[in-house]
Amino acid sequence: MRKLLLFTVLTLLIGGATALAMTIEEALALFQGSDIMIPYSDEGRATLEEAIAAFQAALGVTVDLDEGNEADVMAFEVDIALLDVVSKLSQCYYTLADAFLEGDPEERPTYLRGKHWGLLCLRTDETFAATEAADGFVAAVATSDDVAGLYWTAANWLRAAEFNPLEAVFAGVPEKTDTINRRCLELDETYMNYGSYRALGAFWAGLPKLPAGTYRKNWNRSLGYFCKIVNEPGICAECSDCPDFGEFLPEMDAYFENRLLFVQYWLIEKGGYWEEAKRILEAVLAEPIGELYPLYNAISQEKAVAFLAEVEEHL
């Protein structure tokens, strides 16, 4: 009788856990456009981790697959009909690391997992794979129309590279990720709320100060990309020989990270723009988070508080 009771309890527990697991449909429903709709909280993190598990289950990922090993992920067979799931898994890993793992030992390994799934998205395309084999990765990027696969590959790759920028430069990561983001702009400049402009603005400001070479810190090039997504005509007038990316659109202000990264990577790092940085940060903090971007607007406001304290030390 006791054994039967124990079996019944275990069955209920296991059945309950299964019933509570997120379905693939529920995981996909978390996305509106290119953004993921979760709160910046422990509940949001738990939801994100459940989505990752749902995507892994849909793809048939087993516990013995080492997602941190590029070769292992590249050998994983994926149904081409599930490539959207693969790119969303890459995005979820980026979001988990960026939003919830800062300073955690798992931060960089999580970005690497995201990078590997993004690369699998790209290399599943036969034309991409053949071009990469014949002419190299940079040439292959021009053949891809997979905006999501491209964007999340580069996003994860760049963040993983930040742990050792100099090593990344000599490994060719800058050229690859620069090429990817410029391809994203060609395909859909609005993806992730004009994300490749943010990425390239931060990219050129964040490179090491090398004495020579293409991929070294370039304030002017950084400003050119940022000036597409921030409404700062006075500062942007300082940009010499900058490309014309078109007019600034008010909708760009609704995604706070556009302004936050401009402050973080350009105004603060370059120095001497403390009043401007204070004004922009206070504007970000004064605006409601809103319903469109609950995660990243909340994160941006939290970071804005810390940056504002740093800026005020210089005033």
- Per DSSP, the residues of 110-132 read HHHHHHHHHHHHHHTSHHHHHHH
Q: How many CB atoms lie within 10 A of CB 258?
A: 25
Instruction: State the pLDDT at residue 244.
Output: 83
- The three-state secondary structure class of 219 is helix
Instruction: State the pLDDT at residue 19.
Output: 43
Task: Domains for the chain: give ranges and CATH numbers.
Answer: 14-214 (1.25.40.920), 231-315 (no CATH)
Q: How far apart are CA 106 and CA 114, in angstroms?
A: 12
Instruction: State the pLDDT at residue 20.
Output: 59
With contact defined as beta carbons under 8 Å apart, do 276 and 267 qualify? yes
pTM of the predicted protein model = 0.92
**Token output for 131:** 């071009």
How far apart, in Å, are the Cα atoms of 202 and each of 22, 55, 82? 35, 30, 32
**Token output for 263:** 């402050």
Q: How many residues does the chain have?
A: 315
**Token output for 157:** 């790759």
- The three-state secondary structure class of 32 is strand
Q: How far apart are CA 160 and CA 35, in angstroms?
A: 21
Residue 161 backbone phi and psi in degrees, to 5 = -70, -25
H or E stretch including 180?
A: helix 173-188
Q: How far apart are CA 1 and CA 105, in angstroms?
A: 47
Instruction: State the pLDDT at residue 286.
Output: 98
Q: How far apart are CA 309 and CA 209, in angstroms?
A: 27
**Token output for 204:** 């050129």
Tell me which residues of the chain have a pLDDT lower than 70: 1-20
- The three-state secondary structure class of 222 is helix
Amino acid at 274: W
